[in-house]
Amino acid sequence: MHSSLPVAASVTSEVWGKTAAGQEVRLFTLTNEKGMEARIMNYGGILVSLKVPDKTGALADVVLGFDSLEPYLGKHPHFGCITGRYANRIGGASFEIDGTTYEVTANSGKNHIHGGREAFDKKVWLARTLEERNAVELAYTSADGEEGFPGKLDCTVTYSLTADNALRIEYRATTDKPTVVNLTNHSYFNLAGEGSGDILGHELTIPAENYTPTDDSLIPTGEIESVLDTPLDFTRPQLIGARISAAFKPLLQGKGYDHNYVLAGSGEKLAARVKDPKSGRVMEVLTTDPGVQLYTANHVKGVKGKAGHVYESRHGFCLETQKYPDSPNKPQFPSAVVRPGEPYLHITTFKFSAE
């Protein structure tokens, strides 16, 4: 699979199909000098594939997903997409800004999740290539009142592939009214290669001593609690599967990890490091955001993915860098409010190596 011939970094694009409404969808391929390759489409800003070398130089696609556009247009577990306007949950599907209450789409029982029913993951974004940065820039304007959120929000998300095998995602947004914004990417990773089974043997480090405990509907209680000496503790490297079945509620919801970790420090910081011991692939996640949600694909069941592979629970993991869930209703959490003249910026880097 690997070649010792030098590769030139490049950005190419092709038509990948059309939505039911007839909108053209394009697939963009970013390649770096080392042969690493990222494919992103402008429908949902979805990371369709990410080919990363192992310790022998052999490439494997490390994100779960589909081989064609069609299944992405149907119901799927948010594979690879840009999630917004508000990733994760808002309790009671409402919040208040400056004394005004806003009701947003209740699409998870009485709560809101991942931006609503026709959210950013189902939009065709305007796309342009930035060859000098080995990047594709996606743009979408969310109308005032879309899914109940206030303000016209102009968003750009830029995916760039660096020479040192990092996929960098820059999320920017400006608004004409005070609103809440929490954008992330919802990729499911398997560093052994998608379709290679479960991720329980991956070694995970999350340098966070605290998390945000939740009620049974996964809405934070507002407290911040220690993970130390619990099954949530990844401050030292641990196998994901070592304690995943320690299903004592409310700490674990019985099916696996679905928890927001509280990251210490400001600026761009390490959110997680994951290693697949067999292939030697290592992924480091760096973010400017204050939290990261670890999710172990608990509800994935019998999804027919790439190359005929069938994905099940725990066949991938998500590390969704984010503001904390339900921040709009928790004044003690870092604020998710964005105002006119105060742009939103969130940068996340997925950096790959092998050892």
- Catalytic site positions: 186, 320
Q: What is the dihedral of CA 279, 280, 283, 284, to 10 degrees?
A: 170
Q: Report the alpha-carbon distance of residue 318 to residue 120 in Å, rounded.
A: 18
Q: How buried is residue 299: exposed, middle or buried, by Cβ count under 10 Å (0-12/13-18/19+)?
A: exposed
Q: For residue 326, what are its two tokens?
A: 């339900």
**Residue 236 burial (10 A CB sphere; 0-12, 13-18, 19+):** exposed
| Among candidate residues 45, 54, 248, 319, the one with its CA nearest the CA of residue 165 | 54
- Count other Cβ atoms within 10 Å, centred on residue 163: 11
Report which DSSP code applies to 132.
Answer: G
Cα–Cα distance, 154 to 203 (Å, whole number): 38
Exposure of 290 in the CB half-sphere (CA atoms within 13 A): 15
DSSP 65-126: --SSHHHHHS--S-TT-EE-SB-SEEGGGEEEETTEEEE----BTTBEETT-TT-GGGSB-E
Structure tokens at 173: 């947004």
Pairing of strands 310-311, 303-304: antiparallel
Distance CA 202, CA 90 (A): 31
Which structure tokens are listed for 206?
């999350």
